[in-house]
Amino acid sequence: MKAGKTNAYQCIIHQFIKDFEGFLEQYASHYPLFGRVWYHAIPFLSNDIVDKYAKEFIDGIKENGSIVNPYPNLPKWDSILTLDGLMILKKHKRI
């Protein structure tokens, strides 16, 4: 692969990560980084970003042991969303 193409791809990836960090901020109450779809991005993000959202997830755990469900019309998902997030936190050594 030519150096010019490599630099272009690196610029695209850098812009995607920058945009993704904005997405994480906008939807922080939905804990996207610790759900079934977006956790694949964790290795590409800085530790500071991952730690910030890990702390928000952990701080969002209610006294009953589940997270604040961002989808109030789906109350039965409380435990599933919480378990998914905790497994992802453990997998990425955040707990």
Query: Domain coordinates of the chain in residue numbers?
Result: 3-91
Alpha-carbon span 14 to 7, nearest angstrom: 10
- How far out from the chain centre does Cα 79 lie? 17
What pLDDT score was predicted for residue 77? 86
Residue whose entry in the numeric block shows the structure tokens 């694949």: 40
pLDDT digit string, tens, across residues 13-25: 999 999 999 999 9
What pLDDT score was predicted for residue 54? 96
User: Average pLDDT of 70-77?
Assistant: 86
Band (5; pLDDT cuts 50, 70, 90) = confident
57 contacts 31 by C-beta, under 8 angstroms: yes
Alpha-carbon span 79 to 1, nearest angstrom: 46
Band (3; pLDDT cuts 50, 70, 90) = low
